Each structure stands twice: as C-alpha cells, then as structure tokens.
Structure 1
Amino acid sequence: MKKNLFLCLLLLQLTATAQDLQPKSLELAYQKTTTLVFPHTVQSVDRGSRDILAQVPEKVENVLQLKAAQEGFTETNLTVITADGRLYSFEVTYADHPATTLLKLGPPASTDAPVEFANKNLNTEQLKTIANLLAEDPRYCYGIKDKAGKTKTTLEGIYVQGNTFFYRLVLSNKSPIPYDVDFVRFSLRDRRQVKRTATQEEERIPLYAYGLEEKTVEAGGQKTLVFALEKVPITKEKELVVELFEKNGGRHLQLRIRGKDLEQACALLL
C-alpha cells in the first residue's frame, strides 16, 4: 500500500514538473514590441531562429523585449533561463496584432531549479569593479575588428577569471556623424551557414556591461566597452559573434571570436 502511494505521489510530481515546462504560446509583431517581465535576472536567451529580435534593456536585468524581424515568419521557439536556474519555454508565432504585448511571468510551480550554473563565483559588485579596471587596460592583445565606413570596433582584450570571461572592445568613430549605439548582442553560432535549426544560434546575455551609460560616440571620438559573460563552449564548428547595432542607422559592426582566441585569454589574478 505504501509502495503504491509512493508511486502515485511520484507520478503526480513528475506530471506537475512536466506541466511547468510546457511551452507557453507567444505572439510577436513586426511593428510592436512585446515585453516579458521575469521574477529574476535574465541569464540566457536561445532563439529558435533569427526571425526573433531580443534584447535586455539597459539597467533592467529581468526584462526581455521581443520583436519580429520580418512579417509572417514561420513558427519558432524561444527559451529563457533566469539567474535562479528557472527555464521558460515559448512557442512563438507571428501576429500583426498580438493578444498581449506585456507578459509578467511568475516562478514555475516546481520548487526545484531545473538548471544549474557552473559559475557562481563573482557577484555584481565584483563584476563591476573588474570591468572598470579592465576599461583602463592600455594593452592591445587582439586584432579582431570590423569597419563600417569610418566607424570601427576592435576587440582589444579577452580576460578570464574562473568561469567568467571579460571582453574589452573599443568603438572608434572617425566620421563626421555621431554614432549612437542601439544595442550590443552576443550569440553562439555555427561557423558554417547551413539550413537554420533551433540550435544554430544561441544568444548569450552579458552578466555585466560597462560603458553603455552614454551610448553616443561623437564624431572623431571613441568609447571603451567591457562585457562579462559566462564561459561559452566554443568548438571548431562554433564561434562567438559580437554585434553592435547603430540606432536609426546602418553602420552595424560584427566581431567573430573563435576558440583559439579564447585560449589566449589573459588570466586575472584576484
């Protein structure tokens, strides 16, 4: 009798957990922004396709803004992991007039976090302190760069502390037109562009970003940016892509970081 009762309770628990992980339906539009509000900091965003545009607004860590990259895209999916180890899954479809453009998400009913993070070493204050120090590092360690007209971004340093990598970028603007940063995106991609799959591109949300308080690089000026990210599993088939998008402009910049670049990261002694 006790054995049967235990099995029933176990089955009920498994059923409840499965229900918690059932994808939610989500509609996105081309002309409207949909906002998701999570109970904890957004840690990772995995888009099923590039038809979804996603960003975490500056100075707000638990909000994800979404938009359709094109009208009438094919149904895809979205997976979000928050800092408390919770996983949220969505089935995403296109709609000119979404049922809602604001969705507040509570924690799943299950009390067990389905995801465990390898990096639990550095808190926000430590990340901030390290990023501020690295912004002043005068060394030039890498030649990875991209240009759009007279605007250029250069990866000047990669550093590692435990499972946290820091990326120091310098954005230079030698054009007579100010460059306004709209947003910066990190994503893990396949190096070879094959038919798109749900695992081909995974967006990585920085743990901390330095230098984006003021997003304008004036004509003839430059800006240093430092981003902290959890270690990413880059293989020969994968690369970490950094994209800088200009607001109301077309001077978008892209950096491609390979595994061999990460192997040369400068170790921080703290």
Structure 2
Amino acid sequence: MKNLKFLLAICLLPFMSLAQDTVYVSQNKTTTIQFPSEIVTPISENAVDVQVKHGNLLLLKASDKQFQFASLTVNTKKGDVYKVPIAFSYGRAGRVNKIDTSNVKELVKIPKVNPLRTTSEQMVNTHKFKKIASDKDGKMAVELGEVTIVSDQLFFRLKIKNKSNINFDIDFIRFYVRDLKTAKRTVTQEQEITPKYSHGTENQSVGGNTTHQYVFALDKFPMAKDKALYVEVYEKNGGRNLYLKVKQSEIEDAKLMN
C-alpha cells in the first residue's frame, strides 16, 4: 500500500511544494496569508487556529497557549502544496503575508543537511559546557553555557536540571531584549527574539532527577549597553519558572566554533 501511494505521488508530478518564509501569530492578533489561488484544504497543528475567507485568504491565530514552532500545509485548486512555518511572536503577529510563488521546491527530492542542526548537535555532543548565567527555583535550575557564534548565527545552550521527583513540563522558552534597569511605574518595551532553529525541543519534559540540554540559534541582533537579553523558561501548569539575564558583554564574548 505504501509503494502504491509513492507511485501515485510520482505520477502526479509536476506536483510542487512551495516553501515559504516564517509567518508569525499570537493569541490576540489575527495574521492573514493571501494565496494566489483558492484554498482547498488547510492542515495545521493544534497550536494554530485557521479560518478560510474569500477563497484565498487564510486567517490565523494562536490557540489558548503559547508555542515555539508549528507548521501549516495548504492545498490549492491549482494543485500546489504550500509549506508554511509558523512561530509565536507578540510583536510580529497581525500582518498580511502574501505567498511567494517564486520559491519553489520539488516535492520529491533528497533532503539537504541543515547546518544549524549540525552545529547544535556538535555543541551538545563534543563541547564542554561553560556556565555564564544561571537561575534556581527550589530543586529546579537552568544554566546558560557560553555563547557561540557561527557566521551570523548566535547559539545559546541551555541546561535544565531537575533534582526533584516531579517532572518539569515546559510550557515555553522565550527570548527577548529589554532595558537592563527599569524605574518603577515606567512602561518597558520588549523586543522579542524568535529562534531560527532549536535543538532538543522535541523533549518538552525534564523528568525527575534528570538533566536536559537545549540549543537555540538566533540571528545576530543589535543590543545597547543599557539593555540585556532575557530568557524565560516557564513550567506548564506549575510555578517553577526560571529566568536568565545575559548582558551585552557576555554576548560580545561569543566564542567561535572550533
């Protein structure tokens, strides 16, 4: 049966899958994707609510909880299949995105090596962990290893330690830039930084008396001396939340990949 399905897919060529740039969603803003032809079936993960409007418009909102990454598959009447990566962002949600039909990839092809994945795996498997920041809540702790830079990508390595007997289920891990010091009764602005790649996030639970590592690749970003990068690790249905603060000097000391 699997062979039959594969043969049918080959016979339908030139059936194309069109890869797209990341689209950002949030819970309180509606993001729109405009397709060049009428939508037949949108297929999304549970993290995203979708609604078709006027035939070729797709309205998106995040569901009732935050997430890091998801994907969306859309079939159109022209026979095209669109693969759209979805990410959560407070600041970049609510936009109208037009599908780029020039970025076309064949459906059947040899997968390429992802350099971000290769670098992340190398960091976890072969590089010594050198702690530069940490936070603790009871028997839960998070540590940040020294920042690594490869080309224009900054790699942040997190180690989450659970010394309790209760599993630590991760709700979300968030990166954002804000003022290093804030005066009381002052409104602060946060610049959310969305990771370009994450490694290890398929494991959303750190079991009792275990340790798990995560690597996040971020595009390099400007940051003044009076600001810092903050990392939040929130527990799902719990209160053992962890926070890290990374100063400009610690990011400027990023090490080259050996």
Q: Normalising to structure 1: TM-score of the pair?
A: 0.59
Q: 2:133 aligns with which of 133, 144, 165?
A: 144
Structure 1, gaps ≥5 residues long: 1-25, 29-33, 40-52, 67-77, 81-87, 91-104, 110-122
Separation in 2 of the partners of 1:57 and 1:37?
19
Partner Cα distance (1:179, 1:141) in 2: 23
RMSD: 3.1
Structure 2 counterpart of 1:17: none
In structure 2, which of residues 191, 210, 215 is the aligned counterpart of residue 221 of structure 1?
210
The Cα of 1:27 is off from its aligned counterpart by 8.5
Give the aligned partner of residue 85 of structure 2: 62
Instruction: Percent identity, please.
Output: 30
5+ unaligned residues in a row in structure 2: which ranges? 1-25, 35-63, 72-83, 101-111
Match of 1:186 among 171, 175, 196: 175
1:231 and 2:223 are equivalent in the alignment: no
Secondary structure at 1:129's aligned position in 2? helix
Q: Does the 8 Å CA contact 1:186/1:243 hold for their aligned counterparts?
A: yes
Q: Between Structure 1 and Structure 2, which shows a larger proportion of strand residues?
A: 2
Counterpart Cα distance in 2 of 1:124 and 1:239: 33
Structure 1 residues 125, 35: CA separation in 2 closer, same or farther (over 3 Å shift)?
farther
Aligned to 2:124: 135
Deviation at 1:107? 1.6
Provide the residue aligned with 2:246 in structure 1.
257
Equivalent residue, structure 1, for 2:161? 172
Q: Counterpart of 1:208?
A: 197
Q: 1:235 to 1:59 in 2, by over 3 A?
A: same
211, 215, 230: which one pairs with 1:241?
230
**SS of the residue 1:256 aligns to:** strand
Distance 2:88 2:154 in 1: 25
Q: Which amino acid aligns with 1:58?
A: F
Of 122, 139, 142, the match for 1:153: 142
Inter-CA distance 259–220: structure 2 relative to 1 (3 Å threshold): same
Q: Structure 2: how far apart are the matches of 1:136 and 1:35?
A: 40
Would you say the 8 A contact 1:189–1:241 is kept in 2? yes
| Aligned 8 A contact 1:177 1:219 in 2 | yes
Structure 2 SS opposite 1:136: helix
